[in-house]
Amino acid sequence: MTKDKTSVKTGVNVESSKYYTNRELSWIQFNERVLSEAEDEANPLLERVKFLSISASNLDEFFMVRVASLKDMINAGYKKPDIAGMTASKQLQAVLKKLHDFTENQYAVYNDRLLPLLEENGINICDIAELGGKELDFAERYFDEVVFPVLTPMAVDTSRPFPLIRNKTLNIGALLKKKEGNDDVDFATVQVPDVLPRLLHIPGSEENKYGKYIFLENLIMHNVDKLYLNYDVIASAPYRVERNADLSIDEDEAEDLLKEIEKQIKKRQWGQAIRLEVSTGMDEKLLKLIAEKLDVEDNEIFSVNGPLDLTFLMKLYKIEGFDHLKEHGYKPPSAVPAFIGEKNIFHVISKGDVLMHHPYQTFENVVKFVEEAAVDPGVLAIKQTLYRVSGNSPIIAALAKAADNGKQVTVLVELKARFDEENNIVWAKMLEKAGCHVIYGLVGLKTHCKITLVVRKEEDGIKRYVHLATGNYNDSTAKQYTDIGIFTCAPAFGEDATAVFNMLSGYSEPLGWNKLSLAPLWLKDRIIDLIRREKEHALKNEPARIVAKMNAICHKEVITELYLASCAGVKIDLIVRGICCLKTGIKDVSENITVRSIVGNFLEHSRIFCFENGGNREIYASSADWMPRNLERRVEILFPIENDELKKKVWHILDLELRDTEKAHIMNDKGEYVKPVISEDEEKINSQKILCDEAYEEARTFNDRNTRIFIPETNPNIKA
Amino acid sequence: MTSEVFAAIDVGSYEMSLKIFELSMKNGVRELDHVRHRMDIGSETYATGRISSYHVDEMIRILSEYKKIMKEYGVTHYQAYGTSAIRETKDIAIVRDLIENRTGIHIDVLSNSEQRFIDYKSIALKYDQFEEIISKPTAIADIGGGSIQISLFEKDTLVVTQNLMTGVLRLHTTMEQVHASRLKYAELVTELINSRLSVFSKMHLKDKKVENLIIIDDYVSPVLQKVGLGTEREGYATSEEYRKFFKKAYKKSDLEVAKKLNIPEENVPLFHVAGVLVKCILDVTKAENLWAPGITLCDGIAYEYAEKKNYIKSPHDFEQDIIACAQNISKRYMGSRSRRETLQKIALTIFDSTKKLHGLKDRERLLLQIATILHDCGKYISLVYLGDCSYNIIMSTEIIGLSHVERAIVANVVRFNHEKFEYYSSDCRFFDGLSREDYLTIAKLTAIIRAANGLDRTHKQKFKDVTAQLQERELVINVDTTADITLEKGLFTNRAEFFEEVFGVKPVIRQKKMLL
């Protein structure tokens, strides 16, 4: 076995754990890149605020899922080392150490860089102590009228146990002493109500037209005496707790998947505490008491110099009147030329495959595809997978309408989409009511592929229209995530799409596939075969190169194959936004591999794989990252882009991103990500911006060409 | 209507499958969807003769879903067939009724010979290859869950067909009973199969030469379709290539085989059984080439429907195969060829000229024809009990393409040609399972064959040219012969009585003396 994984040329065993990075640590690097966008002075101020907020909400999720799972492993006595040879406890130690540094950086950015700039620009976030008379009156009145009625203070004593502090809520703990009576110190806590805005805007006056902002917890603490009338408040401070939230549902045992997940959602609040956030300078005794009750270790306590929970910054980003502090350099989604001026979407697709690149190009055609199918008299059936849908999704409405119109509608609603379960159950029930046939996918496998099939009866028989994509059917994220999708009515794709839905409905797999490769059964092998084929080409001195773009790569077998291919001389360029367990530039292992990450205005989300194949280039797109969960525990699709024109377009995306100088970070030999260094006279390239401009240009020139009126030449011999 | 969407459902022993087809004049038969659901009812019914309520529920659930899928394509017609597992279920009438009430899907039960005939018809969907292959001596092995059917072709007509109870699932169940170890598995399966095959070989193969083997099955065929074994053509392999390939596959673990050949791991054991089976058939037939067209019963069902609705026309005459098959049976029991040909000619002449009277269709004409071919097969055993012996031979011989009921009709017609006619109300055991309509068909065909037989009483084939005409209350049979027919004329009245009873018309012989 080991012999297989040793490079023929270099004799190095590329499976050794020293050639791999731990995925959690790699993820932290990714979040550092997000944070670096908050530091980047080239970004408009509110965009920087947004990036800081994103880094904070990313971190929340990371704690709830990844850190929690490390703790689960430790609790379960799981000793197996990871891809980088680290045990769970070793990982947890390293991760927490990194995260303490990271949090410190976040607050340094907040306090030292953003706060002063915000104030300069009229957004003044201040302490309640800094308010003047009138302003304070306003705040007090707000407290009495709005805040106080919704507060529920809870005291803890021998007869009242420590209450459940809910996941991700902000609370204020206090040490109390009875005004009369003995010297015993009591503890009380009150949740900062999440129904009220975190920031209170104090209206401006003549000398300060923008007004000021104070934190809700600040206001409550200021009035804490009003909560505990018979007590003296010795100390009070805000704290926030995060709990284990990773759902590990045992599907074999769950009789009814739906019910089980509903149960799990309720449970989530009860998970083990994994992080306690407090402000620096908190009363020692109070901190000790809370930490003890929540059963958190010292390294799980994060003392921060500033407001807890920076996700409030997203709200700040959205406040009105500061549009000039936001990014406007990126054009809104442009029209897709193929659809311009065309009434019937099916006619367009019949003319040839259509490629779309969101958000540079609009997502509306995908919505229209379902909407038109819902009312088209020829359409017999619509089938679609839904993973995460937007609130008030037009796609859901169209599907319901289609069912109402007597179409056979089959919708796969993935209930196991993390953090979206609650939302998805609601949709599922609604669709069922509308008469759709709702299926919930396969036990033990998340359905992550994005595919829509429309069966239409036309003059010359049944015809199938297929949409395949790398991103979810979510019209709101489609404005933020970069994804590609294609429309096709090629019979080979239609047959495969039909087979996909048959499989998802629980029927036997087809006897063979025409074009698509599916996880968990075939996809991993397919990718490995494709990598090996490049290796063979390289060994025969034929053109061999791999360019692959994805969100994360941490599948050991796949990385090992990439190392072997690199050893054989295959040039490999990876564009990986997030986790990357592969290391570059190791002598005799990965000298031919480069890794870059693009973190920019849009969230890079498409997965595109290009194989040079001895000069006969093949390009694929997929819903799957090269991670074990995608390749082994999910239903995913890999589809080829075959049309030469479309291949050129997709290659252009990869090529441009490989040349990005503005938003790219390149992994160096030490495993650190650094921005590319370019000389003065070199062109600066922001790939996302250029793609926006190009899409805009393409739509505009197409429009011009088609709206201009041409005057026919007349016969010169005929005189008027 | 230039096209229509048709659904074929096969309720098989280990799988329920649905195929959706688009049928059109322009494109013939085009497959749109193929849905399969694995469900092993075979093991249960082969052992107990019943389908458990658990499986009935599952069948109802799946058929309801199939109905939804049919709607998705706007299916206008469907045909659902149950095969051996359903056939061997004792309470099948109740199960079928239950299923029909709950799902609205009516399942017809196919007799083995009908099923094989449909399978065999489906090969003709790949007509060009089919014609090319059967121009040489060819065997078709149709491997099912419960049994296999081996048919032989000579000069592009079917000559022999034989059913052997060595289906894949049945073999597998047997092997599980003897707890065969993996090492010995192939050996034991071979032994089991060969014991059956040797009988077939002695009876039918003798010194016949077989060049090609066509296989229809669910395990080896898909693999052969996918993996090109040296040859460029899909599904083709030489016997040598197949043996090598199979030997290699057998050495690998189930998991490896599943991965390598892209088949579900749970199918691998059955794949091995089917593989051994094919190898044994290759051994016994000594065929040099193998072709797996990769078709299924559903394809055949669609073919049959498309043919009926005139979407396609097959250049291959399948009726001729049924007739050839009957002739072969007659030959085996030493029937006289000239005699059956004369009888056939007279009987068909009467049939054709009395269409208005009997109102029977082409299919019944075929049954009459087969009855004439087999009319004297019983004499091989006994000249005294000719009728009963013929009946028994026909009932226990498979005539490919005929349903069980059709075979019973033929057997009864042949029997009543010799024996006293029984009436439906007499509770005669020969009418078991036959409806009133079937009984009437028997009566009509018997009347015709009796009349025809009467004309050839002396078995001397005295009548060269026979025509028949309806004239008021008489059926005038003109015979053109110079021979003396006193005997025929004298005895004819006897035979004609039954004809008159059935049709209300009296047949009379009129002799036209040929002018020399």
| Mean pLDDT, residues A562-571 taken together | 92
| Mean pLDDT, residues B475-501 taken together | 77
pLDDT band with cut points at 50, 70 and 90 for residue A523: confident
Does any CB of chain B come closer than 8 Å to the CB of residue A514?
Answer: no
Q: Give the model's pLDDT for residue A252.
A: 35
Chain A residues inside the 8 Å CB shell of B65: 505
Q: Give the model's pLDDT for residue B459.
A: 60
| Mean pLDDT, residues B170-191 taken together | 79
- Our CA dihedral for A202, A206, A209, A215, rounded to 10 degrees, sits at -20
Could you write out the DSSP letters of every residue in B198-230?
HHHIIIIITT----EEEEE-SSHHHHHHHS--S
Q: Give the model's pLDDT for residue A2.
A: 39
Cβ of A455 within 8 Å of Cβ of B259? The answer is: no
Does any CB of chain B come closer than 8 Å to the CB of residue A457?
Answer: yes
Distance CA A228, CA A421 (A): 39
Q: Give the model's pLDDT for residue A379.
A: 92
Amino acid (1-letter code) at residue A52: L
For residue B93, the Cα-to-chain-centroid distance in whole angstroms is: 22
pLDDT tens digits for A344-368? 999 999 999 999 998 999 999 999 9
Distance CA B324, CA B330 (A): 10
Q: Which element (helix H / strand E) includes A74?
A: helix A68-75
Distance CA A339, CA A367 (A): 13
pLDDT of residue A254 exceeding 50, the answer is no
- Percent of chain A whose predicted confidence (pLDDT) is above 90: 45
| Mean pLDDT, residues A309-333 taken together | 87
Mean pLDDT of all residues belonging to chain B = 82
pLDDT of residue A718 exceeding 70, the answer is no
Paired tokens of B430: 């020969």
For residue A145, the Cα-to-chain-centroid distance in whole angstroms is: 39
Q: How many CB atoms lie within 10 A of CB A583?
A: 22
Chain B residues inside the 8 Å CB shell of A380: 71-74
Cβ of B35 within 8 Å of Cβ of A502? The answer is: yes
pLDDT of residue A139 exceeding 60, the answer is yes
Count the helix, strand and coil residues of chain A and give each as a percent rounded to the nearest 5: 40, 20, 35
Nearest CA in chain B to A436: B68
Q: Which residue has the tokens 């091989």?
A: B380
pLDDT of residue B153 exceeding 90, the answer is no
Nearest-CA distance from B222 to chain A in Å? 7
Residue of B35, B65, B74 lying closest to A457 (CB–CB): B74
Cβ of A505 within 8 Å of Cβ of B65? The answer is: yes
- Our CA dihedral for A91, A96, A98, A99, rounded to 10 degrees, sits at 140
pLDDT of residue A3 exceeding 50, the answer is no
pLDDT tens digits for B249-291? 877 777 777 777 777 777 788 888 888 888 888 888 888 888 8
pLDDT tens digits for A626-683? 998 888 888 899 999 999 999 999 999 999 999 999 899 999 988 899 988 888 888 8
Cβ of A462 within 8 Å of Cβ of B27? The answer is: no
Does any CB of chain B come closer than 8 Å to the CB of residue A377?
Answer: no
Q: Give the model's pLDDT for residue B340.
A: 82
Paired tokens of B106: 């009516």
Q: Give the model's pLDDT for residue A720.
A: 45
Mutate to test the interface with A, among B29, B69, B226 (most CBs of A within 10 A): B69
Does any CB of chain B come closer than 8 Å to the CB of residue A460?
Answer: yes
pLDDT of residue B49 exceeding 90, the answer is no
> Is the separation of the CB atoms in A639 and A621 below 8 Å?
yes
Rg over alpha carbons for chain A, rounded to the nearest Å, is 29
- Interface A:B, Cβ pairs < 8 A: 56
Q: Give the model's pLDDT for residue A353.
A: 92
Q: Give the model's pLDDT for residue A253.
A: 35
Q: Each residue of A233-266: b (16+ CB within 10 Å) or e?
A: eebbbbbbbbbbbebebeeeeeeeebebbeebee
Chain B residues inside the 8 Å CB shell of A381: 71-73
Cβ of A512 within 8 Å of Cβ of B74? The answer is: no
Q: Which element (helix H / strand E) includes A358?
A: strand A354-358
Q: Does residue A448 carry a catalytic annotation?
A: yes
Distance CA B382, CA B389 (A): 7
Catalytic residue, from A357, A448, A537, A605: name it.
Answer: A448
pLDDT band with cut points at 50, 70 and 90 for residue A469: very high
pLDDT of residue A704 exceeding 90, the answer is no
Better pLDDT: A78 or A635: A635
Q: Give the model's pLDDT for residue A260.
A: 55
Interfacial A residues in 296-355 facing B (CB < 8 Å): none
pLDDT of residue A708 exceeding 70, the answer is no
Does any CB of chain B come closer than 8 Å to the CB of residue A525?
Answer: yes
Better pLDDT: B341 or A545: A545
Residue of B22, B34, B72 lying closest to A461 (CB–CB): B22
Distance CA A261, CA B84 (A): 43
- A412, A506, B404 from A500: Cα distances, Å: 11, 10, 40
Of A282-291, A334-343, A417-426, B433-442, highest mean pLDDT = A282-291
Nearest-CA distance from A456 to chain B in Å? 8
pLDDT of residue B152 exceeding 80, the answer is yes
Q: Give the model's pLDDT for residue A666.
A: 93
Distance CA B14, CA A566 (A): 47
ipTM of the complex in this document: 0.71
pLDDT of residue A533 exceeding 80, the answer is yes
Distance CA B320, CA B328 (A): 12
Mean pLDDT of all residues belonging to chain A = 86
pLDDT of residue A171 exceeding 80, the answer is yes
Residue of B34, B73, B225 lying closest to A455 (CB–CB): B73
- According to DSSP, the residues that pair with A673 across neighbouring strands are A667
| Mean pLDDT, residues A219-227 taken together | 90
Residue of A410, A437, A508 lying closest to B38 (CB–CB): A508
pLDDT of residue A537 exceeding 60, the answer is yes
Distance CA A465, CA A451 (A): 11
- Percent of chain A whose predicted confidence (pLDDT) is above 70: 92
Cβ of A408 within 8 Å of Cβ of B71? The answer is: yes
Mutate to test the interface with B, among A384, A438, A454, A462 (most CBs of B within 10 A): A462
Cβ of A525 within 8 Å of Cβ of B225? The answer is: no
Cβ of A507 within 8 Å of Cβ of B36? The answer is: yes
pLDDT of residue A577 exceeding 90, the answer is yes
Q: Each residue of A314-330: b (16+ CB within 10 Å) or e?
A: eebbeeeebeebeeeeb
Chain B residues inside the 8 Å CB shell of A557: none
Q: Give the model's pLDDT for residue B354.
A: 84
Of A295-299, A595-599, B39-43, B323-327, highest mean pLDDT = A595-599
pLDDT tens digits for B91-139? 888 888 999 999 999 998 888 878 888 887 788 777 777 777 878 888 8
Cβ of B32 within 8 Å of Cβ of A462? The answer is: yes
Mutate to test the interface with B, among A507, A509, A525 (most CBs of B within 10 A): A507
| Mean pLDDT, residues A603-615 taken together | 92
Q: Give the model's pLDDT for residue A250.
A: 39
Nearest CA in chain A to B29: A461
Backbone angles phi, psi at B506, to 5 degrees: -100, 120
